[in-house]
Each structure stands twice: as C-alpha cells, then as structure tokens.
Amino acid sequence: MAVSYLDRGEGRIAYEVRGDGPLVVCVPGMGDLRSTFRFTIPALLGAGYRVAAMDLRGHGESDDGFSAYDDLTLASDIRALVAHLGGPALLVGNSMGAAGSIVAAAEEPEIVAGLALMGPWVRDGKPRPVMRLVLRMLLVKPWGPAAWRAFYKTLYPGRRPADLAAHVDRLGASLRRGDHWRSFVRTTHTSHAPVEARLDSVRAPALVVMGEKDPDFPDPAAEARFAAERLRGELLMVPESGHYPQADSPDVVNPAVLAFAAKVFG
C-alpha cells in the first residue's frame, strides 16, 4: 500500500488505506509498526472493508518532533485520521493502540462504531522485573535498541509468526530512523490512568482479545475480564498466544474480528 501522511501541526502521521466499504482503522502499540496487522488487513479487505493502518508518533514512517507521546495524544491522532477518512470507524487497536482507541471512543463516540482490542492496556500496572530492566536500558544507547528487539521477541511466548525475524528487523530499522529512538523512549513513559478514567464513558460495542500467555500482565485472564466487564464487551482468550494475538494467531483472531465487524456495521 502507498503511504499517505496526515498533518498534525507538529508533525505528520503515516498511514496506509485500501479498499472500499465501512472504515476500519488499525492502531499498533508502543515500539511496534502498522505492519503488526499484516495478517489482519488482508482478511478485512477480503470481507469488503476499507482498511487504514497508522504508525504512532515517532514510529515507523511517522515524524518525530512532537511535544507529547501518550495515550491522549494518540487518541487525538486516531480521531483526526477517522475524521479525515470519513467515519465512523471500527478501531482495531493493539496494546497502547487499544488504549488510545478507548480514549478516542470515549471522547468522540459518534466517530467510533466499535472497538476490537488486542492485548489492551486499560490501566496502569506494575511492570515485571525484566520490563523494568529493559526500560532502564532503553534510556542508554547503543545497546537500548538491541534490548528492545530482544524484549519484543519475549512477548511471543507461545506461537510465533513465521516472519517474526523479518518483522523485528523492521522494528530495528524504525528505531534507527531520524530521532525515532528518543521518541520511543518518551513513549515508554506513558501512563494508562487516563484510559481507566474513561472506561465507563465508552458506549461503542467492544471485543477484548487477550493471549492466554500474554507476558505483559501478571494474570492475562483477569486483566481481560476487567477490561471486558468495564466496557460491557465480548471476550476472547486465545490459547498459546502472547501480547500480539493478531500476529501470532490470525487463524483464531481474524474470524472473531470479522464476525464482530459484521455485527458492528450490520
């Protein structure tokens, strides 16, 4: 897909869009790229949707130089993209992308038709010891980017996509682009407290998808139940899946997302 850019004043957000039909916007998480949805997008296109995928601020092909990198500004970027493309949209968000999608749905409900949330961060949690170590290392070059790439692979503790090594290489290239490294480090300081404060304000239908082995959460099932209950949504637990169920288990996740999209736009 050809890359387009949305001007956000301080910089541009990169996105790709293809297809015709109801709009679906895919939003990746911190330290990741829009290509995390490389198995999701073809399924949505094949089902007759118009699909956009964006890069976060200071990630992928988006610009650096923004004054803020957090859930609230991500939500504002999502809302701006939906408005630009013509909503309402089903938002498919992973990790921090799910957090920003929830905030967007709470703040501008008329442009969000539904939420499909993969490994969502909906509140602050206590990082596991290895994550605290990685975050400390992230502040220091030259080994910080290598630490993130190594840590990223641990987020696939069960099933792994066959092209994981190539995807990790793309992450490394992104971190070396411009001032992306500094942008990424700033993104790691994000608090998800604003998401939790807005959960009860969301009116859009929601699907929560959580890997049973997601290492980002001490108890993935409990975290998924918390999110689904607060959002009054559906819940899908994915066996042998980690923090990126859309990439490690598309055979399970894609049918669920398509069924949910059909209900949302039906």
Distance (Å, rounded) from C-alpha 82 to C-alpha 164? 29
* pLDDT tens digits, 170-204: 999 999 999 998 999 899 889 999 999 999 999 99
User: What's the domain count of the chain?
Assistant: 1
Determine how many CB atoms are found less than 10 A away from the CB of residue 214: 25
32 Cβ neighbours under 8 A, 6+ residues apart: 56, 59, 94, 95, 152, 171, 244
Range of the domain at 202: 4-265
pLDDT for 125:
83
Q: Domain containing 155 — which CATH number? A: 3.40.50.1820
* pLDDT tens digits, 62-102: 999 999 999 999 999 999 999 999 989 999 999 999 999 99
3-state class (DSSP) for residue 141: coil
What percentage of the chain carries pLDDT values higher than 70?
A: 94
